[in-house]
Homo-oligomer: A and B are copies of this chain.
Amino acid sequence: ANKGLVCLQDYEQYAHQNLDKNALDYYRSGAGDEYSLELNRTSFKSYRIRPCCLVDVSSVDVSTQVLGTCVSLPVGISPTAMQRMAHPDGECATARVSDKYPTTATSKVMCNKDWGVFAAAGDAGTVFILSTLSTSSVEEVSAAAPHTTKWFQLYIYKDRELTEKLVKRVEDAGYQALVLTVDAPVFGIRRSDVRNKFKLPPHLTLANFKGLHATDVTESKGGSGINEYVLSLFDPALSWEDINWLKSITKLPIILKGILTAQDAVRGVDAGAAAILVSNHGARQIDSTPASIEVLPEVVKAVGGRVEVYLDGGVRQGTDIFKALALGAKMVFVGRPALWGLTHSGQQGVKNILDILKWELETTFSLTGCNSVQNIRPCMVVHKSFYHKL
């Protein structure tokens, strides 16, 4: 299944060769000139790892806790819309992987001979975030992956009743947190989607909205169908006051996704956010936002430990995860990589993606002298400018 595919870039290449143009462009693209898209990747290269040697790493444990829940590895799945374009099982398959993901990892597990299968019998799993714009409904996913730690990514609609009903269904279906996306009052301009007049293939629907607007994205009125959908339905008037409204209709912890400045992070914490997810939305909203890894230190500093801070955007290998953790993230998330795995072989493909990241992260832990996330010290990752003065 995974023969010859040994890193996430291999899966990326596979997906780029096998997805149809409409879906591929939607998954791949970033806003505008795609400068921030590139930056999300290249910025990671600006940080150098300073390993500690001669530490007993006979046992290495990459598990951690997020919002009080154990996860097998500090990598979760970011919400990405419309996963059934990649594979018929869509969000259900992705959610199932997170369910099964193993808690404990030892260096034995890192043995290459095992790496294709080392996650066969896990327990704690990791976090799966379902998008509002999913092609599998809240309930379907819940049924498919009952034991997975599931969070729900929420877009707030002008129609607040509809939104409230959605939140209730999310609670009922056993999701454990709401991830409120705060960077999308409208959608960014992704040029290839405009060129393609992107639409959801007719056999798919926005599954959370059966009956109402569920098939709106299957047509384009001239531009990107998804942008037109967002423009007509999402609430562009969303403001800090609405956090109170949201808290009034749910008891679920609220994570703010899309924060890019210290100021907004502090405001979010003050407003009662349970966690901050530093993200530039996979560089799909405003081109020339900083890379998320560039922003992480200032947010971590501003938040000062009051809540957990997460990051997504450009995470592609174990060292990226390590860098984010050293710079203060409690957890990272991946968006596109899960889509590549899904495209390759559904649930197994997504599992391969997490396997590779876990293998790479465990190797990084071993080679930096970290037995567990607690051992990672801030001084272990520095910006390259650290070395550019004699």
**Footprint of B on A, CB under 8 Å?**
4, 6-7, 9, 32-33, 35, 44-58, 107-108, 110-116, 182-186, 188-189, 191, 194-195, 220-224, 227-228, 231-232, 235-240, 242-243, 256, 258-261, 263-264, 267, 285-290, 294-295, 297, 317-319, 323, 327, 359-360, 363-364, 366-368, 382-390
Q: Which 7 A-B pairs have the closest CB atoms?
A: A112-B223, A113-B221, A53-B182, A58-B237, A294-B387, A113-B222, A56-B237
- Told that A50-B260, A115-B222, A115-B223 touch, could you supply 20 new A-B pairs with CB distance under 8 A? A4-B195, A6-B191, A44-B288, A50-B289, A56-B237, A107-B186, A107-B231, A111-B223, A111-B228, A116-B222, A183-B367, A188-B363, A188-B367, A236-B366, A286-B363, A286-B367, A287-B319, A383-B388, A383-B389, A385-B389
- Which partner residue on chain B sits nearest A232 by CB separation? B111
> Does B51 lie within 8 Å of A260, measured CB to CB?
yes
> Does A236 lie within 8 Å of B319, measured CB to CB?
no
- Which partner residue on chain B sits nearest A221 by CB separation? B113
Q: How far is the CA of A389 from the CA of B206 in the complex (A)?
A: 43
> Does B288 lie within 8 Å of A45, measured CB to CB?
yes
> Does A286 lie within 8 Å of B317, measured CB to CB?
no
Q: How far is the CA of A383 from the CA of B32 in the complex (A)?
A: 19
Q: How far is the CA of A116 from the CA of B222 in the complex (A)?
A: 9
Q: Write out the residue numbers on chain B whose beta carbons fall within 8 Å of the beta carbon of A382.
A: 390
Q: How far is the CA of A194 from the CA of B3 in the complex (A)?
A: 10
> Does A360 lie within 8 Å of B189, measured CB to CB?
yes
Q: Give the shortest distance, in Å, between A332 (CB) and chain B (any CB).
A: 15
Partner of A368, one of B107, B236, B286: B286
Q: Give the shortest distance, in Å, between A340 (CB) and chain B (any CB).
A: 16
> Does B113 lie within 8 Å of A228, measured CB to CB?
yes
Q: Write out the residue numbers on chain B whose beta carbons fall within 8 Å of the beta carbon of A54.
A: 182, 238-240, 242-243, 264, 267
Q: Give the shortest distance, in Å, between A2 (CB) and chain B (any CB).
A: 10
Partner of A49, one of B256, B288, B386: B288
With A189-B359, A195-B6 as given contacts, are A364 and B52 in contact (CB-CB < 8 Å)? no
> Does B182 lie within 8 Å of A57, measured CB to CB?
no
Q: Write out the residue numbers on chain B whose beta carbons fall within 8 Å of the beta carbon of A35.
A: 45
Pick from A57, A116, A390 the residue with the most CB of B within 10 Å: A390
Q: Write out the residue numbers on chain B whose beta carbons fall within 8 Å of the beta carbon of A364.
A: 286
Partner of A186, one of B45, B110, B318, B386: B110
With A4-B195, A259-B53, A286-B49 as given contacts, are A360 and B317 in contact (CB-CB < 8 Å)? no
With A222-B115, A290-B387 as given contacts, are A367 and B319 in contact (CB-CB < 8 Å)? no
Q: Write out the residue numbers on chain B whose beta carbons fall within 8 Å of the beta carbon of A195.
A: 4, 6
Partner of A50, one of B267, B290, B384: B290
Q: Write out the residue numbers on chain B whose beta carbons fall within 8 Å of the beta carbon of A258.
A: 53
Q: Give the shortest distance, in Å, between A265 (CB) and chain B (any CB).
A: 10
Q: Give the shortest distance, in Å, between A48 (CB) and chain B (any CB).
A: 5
With A288-B48, A388-B46 as given contacts, are A185 and B366 in contact (CB-CB < 8 Å)? yes
Q: How far is the CA of A198 from the CA of B252 in the complex (A)?
A: 50
Q: Give the shortest distance, in Å, between A180 (CB) and chain B (any CB).
A: 9
With A239-B56, A286-B49, A383-B388 as given contacts, are A113 and B223 in contact (CB-CB < 8 Å)? yes
> Does B189 lie within 8 Å of A32, measured CB to CB?
no
Q: How far is the CA of A58 from the CA of B261 in the complex (A)?
A: 22
Task: List 5 interface pairs A-B (beta carbons < 8 Å), by A numbering.
Answer: A7-B191, A58-B236, A186-B363, A290-B387, A386-B390
Q: How far is the CA of A113 from the CA of B268 in the complex (A)?
A: 34
